Structure 1
Amino acid sequence: MFWQDEEETSAITIPDDIVDVLFTLQCRSLPVDHAHALSQALLAAVPWLAEADAGIHTIHVAGSQNGWERPSHGGGQHLLLSRRTKLSIRVPEARVAALKAALEGISLDIGGAELGIGAGKPKRLGKPTTLFARYVAGPEDLDEEAFLRWTAERLREQLDIRVRKALCGKQTPLTTPNGALPTRSLMLADLKPEESLRLQQQGLGPHRLMGCGLFIPHKGIDAVHKAE
Structure 2
Amino acid sequence: MYWDEDTGEESFVVPRDIIDLQFRISCPTLPVDHAWTLAQAIQAHLPWFMSEPKVGLHLIHGAESGNGWERPESRDALLHLSRRTPLTLRLPTALAEAAETLVGQTLDIAGHPMTIQGSRPKPLAMTRFLYARYIAADPELPEEQFIQWAVSELNSMGLRFKKILCGKPHRLESPDGPIHTRSLMVAELSYEDAVTLQEQGLGPYRALGCGLFLPQKSF
1:48 alignment partner in structure 2: 48
- The question of 1:90 aligning with 2:90 is answered yes
Identify the residue that residue 34 of structure 2 maps to in structure 1. 34
Partner-residue secondary structure (3-state), 1:108: strand
Runs of 4+ in 1 over 6 A off after TM superposition: none
1:115-153 residue CA offsets vs partner (Å, 9 max, x unmatched): 111101000112210001010003341111111001001
Aligned residues: 218
Q: Which has the higher helix share?
A: 1
1:199 touches 1:215 (CA, 8 Å); kept in 2?
yes
Match of 1:116 in 2: 115
Map of 1:226 onto structure 2: none
Give the 3-state SS of the residue equivalent to 2:173 in structure 1.
strand
The one-letter code of the counterpart of 1:82 is S
Which shows bigger deviation, 118-127 or 63-72? Answer: 63-72
In 1, Cα distance between the equivalents of 2:61 and 2:6? 31
C-alpha spacing 1:126/1:67, structure 2 compared with 1 (3 Å): closer
Show the counterpart of 1:62. Answer: 63
Point out where structure 2 has 5 or more consecutive residues left out of the alignment: none
Amino acid at match of 1:166: I
Letter in 2 for 1:127: M
Identity %: 44
Distance 1:77 1:153 in 2: 36
TM-score, length of structure 1 as denominator length: 0.90
CA contact (8 A) 1:73 1:172 kept: no
Q: Secondary structure at the match of 1:200?
A: helix
SS in 2 for 1:94: helix
Q: Does structure 1 conserve the Cα–Cα contact (< 8 Å) formed by 2:131 and 2:185? A: yes
1:163 CA displacement: 4.1
Q: Which moved more, 1:137-146 or 1:32-41?
A: 137-146
Q: Distance in 2 between matches of 1:219 and 1:28?
A: 26
Question: How big is the shift at 1:31?
Answer: 0.3
Give 1:172 deviation, angstroms: 0.6
3-state SS, counterpart of residue 98 of structure 1: helix
Matched position secondary structure for 2:44: helix
Q: Cα RMSD between the aligned structures? A: 1.6
- TM-score, normalised by the number of residues in structure 2: 0.94
Please give the per-residue CA displacement for 1:3-33, whole angstroms capped at 9, x wherever unaligned: 2225321212211010000001101110000
Within 5 Å, give how 1:1-228 maps onto structure 2: 1-5=1-5, 7-49=7-49, 50-51=51-52, 53-64=54-65, 67-74=68-75, 76-100=76-100, 102-157=101-156, 159-220=157-218
Provide the C-alpha distance between the structure 1 equivalents of 2:94 and 2:32, rounded to a whole number of angstroms.
31
Q: In the aligned structure 2, how far is the partner of 1:3 from the partner of 1:220? A: 18
